[in-house]
């Protein structure tokens, strides 16, 4: 019996009407897991391809392993091409503003009638409620959902340093899609799955909402937080280098004291329990700071690792290109117009193996011809659609 296994979603057909981050992040998870994801781009290509500044990395990171088809969706012929693709799809993903897909003729009601088994995934700013028709952005919902307040300084809210809500909202979209697909095995009927930015942000800060109920007072920003542990912060070591250290259990405290020869602390029974150590933090931290200031970063990290203590160097994204852990199989060589970008793969393993790059980042309309062939169009029909500028193809070979 062969032990070879394919990716688990290889039999899944996905049609993606998305741009920016949230929608593409949903599609790339499914694509990395083997789904055949066909990205429907405007006739001139997704504008996300041409973003600069902090948006320059959106397209390369969230559109690998997908096929690109450029279609004029406002033309009758282009709409018919898209409908033919949707008719055979298992999943449709869209992240346009409320009402946009309906205006184009691709709303959920019409598409579920066309394809009753279709899982229709909408990625929006808000779920059903008073805000449902508002336009939102990752940063907007970080601000209104309390995450920017918790991330920043007391008088200066700050967004998180990544599109965390877009990305996680997309992941919740995937969870909804997979649950609906599981149900479809028994019902044969699809569902309309919606994930949103604001409610994702609220889910993130739910722990702080619960904290307020438990402690009876509103939590301060994490920058001035009252830590649950006595040692849980960034320490300065030699040569102005820094390391984060977290001693988060009574057992780790014993290992920590043994490794760094803190015999006085180890013998003091008033420090045996975490909550008691927190009360004596002002006594503990100065000793640790003085100790670590005499050690270079590598020596400190080696000793922390030997003792099994959680620690981290203070890295930048640039440092990750050379990270030994990621370079052991966690980076995928994605081709961009500017050169190859080694980018993080999906952060899961299947039978001990990471997902791979099976379709490089597509150029605009790179797969138009093949997708139309697969959909049953003749070479003559494809040529006519290209000539009429209903679709754009990189090549007709």
Enumerate the H helices of 216-316 as residue ranges: 250-259, 263-267, 274-279, 281-292, 297-307
d(CA 388, CA 75): 10
- 238-243's contacts with Cβ under 8 Å and 24+ in sequence apart are 238/293, 238/294, 238/295, 238/296, 238/297, 239/296, 239/297, 241/296, 241/297, 241/313, 242/297, 242/313, 242/314, 243/292, 243/297, 243/300, 243/301, 243/304, 243/311, 243/312, 243/313, 243/314
Of 120, 128, 144, 142, the C-alpha closest to 26 is: 120
Cβ count near 217 (within 10 Å): 10
Quick count: other Cβ atoms within 10 Å of Cβ 226? Answer: 11
The single-letter DSSP state of residue 132 is T
44 is catalytic: no
* Catalytic one of 166, 296, 319, 323: 166
Q: Which residues are catalytic?
A: 166
């Amino acid at each position: 019996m062969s032990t070879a296994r394919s990716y688990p979603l290889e039999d899944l057909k996905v049609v993606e009407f998305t741009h920016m981050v949230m929608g593409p992040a949903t599609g790339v998870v499914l694509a990395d897991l083997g789904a055949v994801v066909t990205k429907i781009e405007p006739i001139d290509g997704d504008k996300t391809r041409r973003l600069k500044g902090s948006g320059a990395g959106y397209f390369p990171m969230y559109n690998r392993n997908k096929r690109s088809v450029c279609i004029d969706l406002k033309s009758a012929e282009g709409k018919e091409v898209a409908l033919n693709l949707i008719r055979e799809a298992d999943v449709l993903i869209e992240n346009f503003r409320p009402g946009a897909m309906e205006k184009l003729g691709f709303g959920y009601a019409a598409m579920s009638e066309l394809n009753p088994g279709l899982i229709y995934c909408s990625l929006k700013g808000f779920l059903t409620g008073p805000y449902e028709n508002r336009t939102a952005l990752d940063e907007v919902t970080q601000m209104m959902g309390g995450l920017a307040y918790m991330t920043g300084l007391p008088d200066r809210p700050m967004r998180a340093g990544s599109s965390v809500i877009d990305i996680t909202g997309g992941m919740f979209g995937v969870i909804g899609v997979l649950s609906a697909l599981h149900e479809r095995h028994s019902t044969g009927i699809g569902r309309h799955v919606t994930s949103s930015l604001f409610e994702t942000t609220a889910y993130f800060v739910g722990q702080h909402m619960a904290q307020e109920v438990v402690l009876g007072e509103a939590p301060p920003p994490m920058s001035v937080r009252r830590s649950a542990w006595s040692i849980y912060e960034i320490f300065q070591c030699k040569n102005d280098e820094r390391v984060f250290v977290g001693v988060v259990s009574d057992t780790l405290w014993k290992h920590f004291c043994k490794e760094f020869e803190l015999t006085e602390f180890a013998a003091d029974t008033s420090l045996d329990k975490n909550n008691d150590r927190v009360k004596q933090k002002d006594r503990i931290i100065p000793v640790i700071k003085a100790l670590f200031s005499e050690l270079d970063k590598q020596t400190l990290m080696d000793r922390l690792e030997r003792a099994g203590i959680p620690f981290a160097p203070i890295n930048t994204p640039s440092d990750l290109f050379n990270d030994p852990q990621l370079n052991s199989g966690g980076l995928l060589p994605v081709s961009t117009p500017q050169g190859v970008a080694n980018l993080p793969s999906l952060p899961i393993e299947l039978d001990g193996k990471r997902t791979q790059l099976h379709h490089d980042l597509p150029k605009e309309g790179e797969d138009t011809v093949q997708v139309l062939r697969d959909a049953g169009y003749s070479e003559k029909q494809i040529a006519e659609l290209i000539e009429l500028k209903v679709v754009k193809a990189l090549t007709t070979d």
